[in-house]
Amino acid sequence: MYSELLRILTVILFCVVLFSGSGIAYANAEKSEMQMYVDNLHPGWNLGNTFDAKGSETSWGNPKTTKEMIDFIASQGFKSIRIPVTWGHRMGRAPEYTIEPQFLERVASVVDWALENDLYVMLNMHHDTDWIFHMERRYDTVLAQFEAAWVQIADYFKDYPLEVMFESLNEPRFDQDWGRDTPRYFEMLDDLNTSFYGIVRGSGGNNDVRPLVFSTLTASVSQKRMNELAKTMSKFNDHRLIATVHYYGYHSFSVNVAGETRFGQAAKVDLTASLDRAYNTFVSKGIPVIIGEFGLLGFDKHLGTIQQGEKLKFFEYMTYYAQERDLALMLWDNGQHYQRRLNKWSDEALYSTIMVPKGQRSSYTEDNFIFLKKGAPIKDKPFKLELNGNDLVKITHGEYELQKGTEYDILYGRLVIKSEFLEKLNRDEFGEVATVTCHFSAGVPWDISVYSYDTPVFEEIETTRNRFRIPVEFKGDLLATMEALYVKGGNAGPNNWTSYKQFGADFDPQYERGYIEILPEFFGEVKDQEPIRLKFHFWSGEVVEYTITKDGVKVTGMP
């Protein structure tokens, strides 16, 4: 009797572990085959600005892709790779539109390296949108070339394993205005996707069951565009289909314009609502979703467009919420993140943040900086603390561990770095004088940089609009944003719906070179002989005003 009771208890315990516990086994039992396939893709990485370049593989600045690069990506924990490919300029004349055989072989070699590393592969048609764009007035020609391309791609890769998926078309669009929704555009995209589906499914080999990926118009997360894609996908009555969208954040924050320098409430609401729409439209109805590209648009200028701490908050929340909604993420990387020549990451903290697994979050403080002004008394520095379910374990400065109670404390949900610690720092020079690192029970450590600074000093200058560089002694401070207003009233420069201009597009600080450049694009949209007051807002809280006047090609400026 005892042994029988033990057997029953063992069975009960097994069932409890299997169907409750972490919930993972039960959740997987509820998921479709394709959803589990997409779960396995996260996190993914894009081989951007390579085969999608409109010239050669290296014409957009990246080195030739090697097996070592793909090995590295796999070794870093990525599970999938998206290989954007532009086919049009590698195709011959009508009616055959033959793809260059050596190019197909070259793409296949990278696919092979990825598969050897157990990576899933998404192969697509990328900047071919530039000729598909003309479909409204060249319908038959565009459709014929599109079909010819997929006939050849599908045939070449038909015997490849199902870890290789095909994406019909990247960010499909049919005019310069990315915001237009017209019945004709949705009809043409439906025609392309229907043709793609029929070609691949009828091409033999593994293609009859290969996972196929379909993008919304412009890869947008708007409800209308997702609804239209859902209509197309539902008519195929095929459970081996995947939807894809792209997400680059709330626009004003993503490019740093209109004073949206922080990953604040508006940016968080936009992210949450966008991913919720993708979940509700597709995932909740059994169609998995890949966010085939994600990042920040400001990265097109440089990685410093968005302040480091705010950038990491965006990537932390994006990674967390996408996984909560069962959306696989693929980082857009055109060479800005993984430095392919040096075989290292440009920003290790960003890389580490997007690799945090489901069920974990990273913690952070309200700011990731402390500015100490020369000659001013040093006070305690409080930070709002976002633990996200974790505990603060310790704070270090190099090998030294700060002492709780005397050098830092946690009071009413705030981390306080105390003046007793800050006063010990050597502040003889301007700039970053220390980094303290917060270590938490889970997630990525959080660095807080301490700067010694004084009010920046600007100098007069007279030069041309094509090379207008204001000499600045930054004195350890860092620029957050710039306002531009006519002295007589009204906003000046591009995006004149706001006084705050776009970082990296209208102005660009060069700290090591000692100037702030006001870019030619800014002067292209300002009045002649109308003085403009620039207000430079620094992260320390300092605001410095400067007046400029454009007269033809000549520009003068003075503090």
CB 322 within 8 A of CB 43: no
Q: What are the catalytic residues?
A: 171, 293
Tokens of 240: 């081996």
Q: Within a 10 A sphere around the Cβ of 239, how many other Cβ atoms?
A: 11
**What is the C-alpha to C-alpha distance for residues 303 and 256, in angstroms, rounded to an integer?**
12
> Residue 411's beta-bridge partner residues?
414
- State the helix-helix crossing angle for 101-116 and 139-156, rounded to 10 degrees: 50
Residues contacting residue 237 through CB under 8 Å, at least 6 positions apart:
none
Q: Which of 227, 205, 136, 210 is nearest to 173 (CA)?
A: 136
Query: How would you label 415-425 residue by residue, b for 16+ Cβ within 10 Å and e otherwise?
Result: bbbbeebbeeb
User: How many contiguous H segments (helices) and E segments (strands) does the chain have?
Assistant: 15, 28
CB hemisphere CA count around 494 (13 angstroms): 15
Q: Which of 356, 305, 343 is nearest to 479 (CA)?
A: 305
Q: Which of 380, 339, 332, 341 is nearest to 122 (CA)?
A: 332
Strand order from edge to edge, sheet including 532-538: 461-464, 554-558, 543-551, 532-538, 479-486
Tokens of 116: 């050897």
Strand order from edge to edge, sheet including 381-386: 364-365, 381-386, 414-417, 408-411
**What is the C-alpha to C-alpha distance for residues 196 and 194, in angstroms, rounded to an integer?**
5
Tokens 């450049």 -> residue: 517
Containing H/E element for 544?
Answer: strand 543-551
**What is the C-alpha to C-alpha distance for residues 273 and 270, in angstroms, rounded to an integer?**
5
At position 380, the amino acid (one-letter code) is: D
